[in-house]
Amino acid sequence: MIITLLSFKFTKFVVYLQQFFNRSLPVMKIQEAKFAGSSTIVEQKPKEILPEFAFIGRSNVGKSSLINCLCGNSRLAMTSSKPGKTRLVNHFRINGQWYLVDLPGYGYAKASQNDRQKIEDVIRNYLNFSRELKHLFILIDSRHDLTGTDADFIREIGTSDIPFSIIFTKADKMGPVAGAKQMEKCKRSIADRLQFQPHCLASSSETGMGREDILNYIDKLLSEL
């Protein structure tokens, strides 16, 4: 009886601590988000050298929308309901201190072979040669199983020296229970391919869910540079 009571009080205490720390965790403030330039090769990147945090994923997964959501400006990066909108590497300077980088989407099936190759070259050039890239966020649609293209890309990045995390996007499109189940399934297939579990976050650019987590995570990464 006493043990049950003590363990109940301990559980309540842990929940209280979690609530306290969640509430007191300050969210990184984006005071200024400015378009700094578009490029197809790293030599064309903005001249000012700052740490870069890039977003990549299949076409239409929600990269540009998430950048807008993080910056609180729906007109910063161009978005579209049609895949293949972002074709260049777009730099956005944040608080004059670091860049958010919007990359073109990979695996756009309807693009011509020539267009696909051009987009692939732009992505490869950035990933291979951008020395300022500090962290790559790989976006996966939270509703779907990992596609072959996602799996290949994740496996490849897993063997590179680029630090990366996963963000499951469009979390508003599924109910919380079905959504959590689907994300767990996807996390398992990612871990199976990599032999380790990368850091995973979830987001919705519609509701702003995950915004604080992503900004605080970037803040932490910046503080470790």
Ligand X SMILES: Nc1nc2c(ncn2[C@@H]2O[C@H](COP(=O)(O)OP(=O)(O)OP(=O)(O)O)[C@@H](O)[C@H]2O)c(=O)[nH]1
Interface residue list for ligand X (CB under 6 A)? 57, 59-65, 79-81, 83-86, 104-105, 169-170, 172-173, 204-206
- Per partner kind, with CB cut-offs from 5 to 8 A, the member of Mg ion, ligand X, none near residue 173 is ligand X
Taking the CA atoms of 133, 36, 58 and 111 in sequence, report the sign of the dihedral they define.
negative
- d(C-alpha 155, C-alpha 151), whole Å: 6
CB nearer to ligand X: pick between 83 and 222? 83
At 206 the three-state DSSP class reads coil
* Residue among 131, 98, 130, 126 at smallest CA distance from 215: 98
Q: Does 86 bind Mg ion (CB under 5 A)?
A: yes
Q: Does 64 bind Mg ion (CB under 5 A)?
A: yes
DSSP letter, residue 210: T
- Per partner kind, with CB cut-offs from 5 to 8 A, the member of ligand X, Mg ion, none near residue 84 is ligand X
Q: Does 68 bind Mg ion (CB under 5 A)?
A: no
Return the structure tokens found at 20.
């306290």
- Per partner kind, with CB cut-offs from 5 to 8 A, the member of ligand X, Mg ion, none near residue 59 is ligand X
Least Å from the CB of residue 8 to Mg ion: 49
- Match 């945090």 to its residue by tokens: 53
Taking the CA atoms of 154, 39, 102 and 71 in sequence, report the sign of the dihedral they define.
positive
CB nearer to Mg ion: pick between 149 and 216? 149
Q: Which residues bind Mg ion (CB under 5 A)?
A: 63-64, 85-86
